[in-house]
Chains A and B, each alone.
Chain A
Amino acid sequence: MNKRILEMIGGRLAIAILSLFLVSLAVFFITELLPGDTAQELLGQAVTTEAAAQLRETLGLDRPAILRYFEWIFGLLTGDLGYSHVSDRPVANLVAERLPNSLTLAAITMAITIPLALGLGIFAAIWKGSIFDRAISSAAIMLVSFPEFMIATLLVMWLSVYMQWLPALSFIPATADFRTIVLAFIMPVSVLVFGSCSQMIRLSRAAIADAMATPYVEMAMLKGASRSRMVLRHALPNAVAPIVNSVALSMSGLLGGVIIVETVFNYPGLAKLMVDGVSTRDMPLIQTCSMIFCGFYLVLITAADIIAILSNPRLR
């Protein structure tokens, strides 16, 4: 590991922290400055202006926004996630109940999607132009076009209503045995895998196909290297950076999918909590959830960048 690599990684981390700061500004001021008012919302439509003003004062909403921003960000950094006035509980408690569920769902999905999508994409590129390639590419373009909620509703219709094989909701009682848990996870995970794999398949296929068209792969072919050696030894190492980036890019889609899937299957995760928060306009909850999601997203993107840097043989 030389100095240049360390410098590049340091630069990436600095950019990530700067982005997180800018994202926090965007999240806070979009939720605060757009028309709409928490006090009004809490008290309902038929509220007198005095009562609303009173509540605003109690909640501290009458102070300048910039001051509240710094209080909020300082709170986040010191572990105080704010207080949800709608459910009358600290946001930290709400998040602590839900976050592990969402992480489980996302982790299972990634563990299935990444090897599956990369495998399909790489093999499609190896056999470019074959029936397998065309089938995979067509399937990927179809999946890209279908909204997650459509895949989810059609699966529920087929597997829960007609076949009655799987439960339509993913509420897992605390006493559930292993089989119940697995059955409850099958549909949400399938929808997420379908939703997030297509982009990855397309991008990894393109990355390998690009690498296969380079002079050094042609050279390997002329030397008489086998097809698998050409791909695994020559093309793949040079395609790692775009492939890792494609995985990071699909994470944005995966998060969108998680929001939809948790709602469809009534899964008790953080995304469902946030969607409910938007309906009730529970601002502290929304702000904190957004920052948690963006934080995870930025960590993944930065990790992908760092892997891409480390994988570049020219820097070693």
Chain B
Amino acid sequence: MTVSAAPRRKLRFHIRPIAAICLAVVLFWAAIALFAPLLVHYPVGDMVSYDYFGPMSKEYWLGTDYLGRDIYSRLIVGARYTIGIAFVGLILAALIGITLGLFAAAFGGLFDTILSRAIDTFVGIPNLLLALVIVAGGGSSIPILVFAITIIFFPGCYRFTRSMAINVNALDFIAAARARGEGHFYVMIHEILPNIVGPIMADLGLRFVHIILLLSGLSFLGLGVQPPFADWGAMVRENMIGISYGSPAVVVPSLALASLALAINLLIDNLPQRIRDQLE
């Protein structure tokens, strides 16, 4: 009898077709946001046509808006604002939330209690309301928007990470690691984190949808990205009068927003069962 090496373990995921389509949509918008400057036809603030609320044409692919600006170019750059601001805010919120969550779970005790209590304060303020308060205090600029998103969304990341990490922290291999003398930091980074990273990523995906909806809601109220620049929410706001002309100017950014949000939600809903089980 010959001894052969154990077969390499493969992570075999069954990927559903709908998940593949959704992933394609998400990557499409990500690419648009990334390469926006190469794709625009006209500078975003330029009034290029005398025909306001013009129809779709060869020159202006998606028509013109209420000032005769090219909607296609504004949509492309709008993707950059919507996705870019949301993404930076998400990364900051995730860094703060996950770090604090791991600390709370690994150290426990009074540290955990005080931190959790303090962070719960922010949960007592509804999201859009807190955003309004922050924008009222700091005025609307891109750093303030990123700051608002970070403040609003890190408590959720914290709570999610903490609850996942506490479950893992109670398992035997953590006790084993501590028994062989590993420090808190080693346990956090090398033992707990790798075991909860999947569900955390899925949770961040869902949070990203909430962020883009919040951000575009804020812009829709006129308190987000300021003219002449516009994200998708601001584009809907500024072209509201166009509704009565049946102009694509209102519909196009709405559809862009809905397609991105729906794609992310469906993608996470159709993740491989292994990750979904952990998520619940």
Contact = CB atoms under 8 A, between A and B. Distances in A.
A150 B137 CA distance: 27
A161 B243 contact: yes
Contacts of B265: 141, 144-145
Given A141-B266, A157-B250, A260 B133 contact: no
B266 A19 contact: no
A112 interface: no
Main secondary structure of the interface of A (DSSP, over half): helix
Contact of B258 (A36, A146, A283): A146
B133 A27 contact: yes
Contacts of B216: 147, 149
Contacts, number: 142
A19 B124 contact: yes
Interface string A237-254: 000000000000001110
Interface string B246-279: 1000110010011001101110010000000000
Interface stretch (B31-39, B73-81, B218-226): B218-226
A31 B233 CA distance: 24
Contact of A26 (B122, B222, B240, B269): B122
B258 A22 contact: no
Q: Pick the most buried of B118, B128, B214, B246: most chain A CB atoms within 10 A of its CB.
A: B128
Interface in A249-268: 251-253, 255-256, 259-260, 263
Given A22-B124, A26-B125, 7 more contacts: A23-B124, A35-B138, A149-B233, A256-B129, A260-B128, A275-B221, A278-B221
B134 interface: yes
9 contacts: A26-B122, A145-B262, A153-B236, A153-B240, A252-B127, A278-B223, A290-B125, A293-B126, A297-B126
B120 interface: yes
B124 A141 contact: no
B209 interface: yes
A281 B132 CA distance: 11
Given A30-B134, A36-B138, A147 B128 contact: no
A20 to B, nearest CB: 7
Nearest to A274: B132
A298 interface: yes
B108 interface: no
B258 A19 contact: no
A81 B126 CA distance: 21
Contacts of A305: none
B139 A35 contact: yes
Contacts of B48: none
Q: Kindly state the interface size class of chain A when it binds its partner.
A: 35 or more
Interface residues of B, number: 47
Contacts of A277: 136
A206 B276 CA distance: 14
Nearest to B268: A141
Contacts of B139: 35-36, 281
Contacts of B217: 147-149, 256, 259-260
A181 B133 CA distance: 32
A156 interface: yes
B132 A286 contact: yes
A298 B123 CA distance: 10
Contacts of A34: 134, 137-138, 144
Q: Pick the most buried of A20, A23, A30, A253: most chain B CB atoms within 10 A of its CB.
A: A30
B254 A154 contact: yes
Contacts of A19: 120-121, 124
Interface string A152-172: 011011000100000000000
A279 interface: yes
Nearest to B131: A256
A202 to B, nearest CB: 10
A145 B209 contact: yes
A293 B133 CA distance: 12
A20 B269 contact: no
A145 B261 contact: yes
Interface in A267-292: 274-275, 277-279, 281, 283, 286, 290
A176 B66 CA distance: 34
A255 B127 CA distance: 9
B220 A147 contact: yes
A276 to B, nearest CB: 10
Contacts of A22: 118, 121, 124
Interface string B128-151: 110011111111000010000000
Contacts of A80: none
A297 B138 contact: no
B160 to A, nearest CB: 14
Contacts of A275: 132, 221, 223
B213 interface: yes
Contacts of B132: 259, 274-275, 278, 286, 290
Contact of A260 (B125, B138, B209, B221): B221
A77 interface: no
A173 to B, nearest CB: 22
A162 to B, nearest CB: 8
Contact of A259 (B129, B136, B240, B250): B129
A278 B244 contact: no
Interface in A25-72: 25-27, 30-36
Nearest to A259: B128
Contacts of B237: 149
B133 A23 contact: no
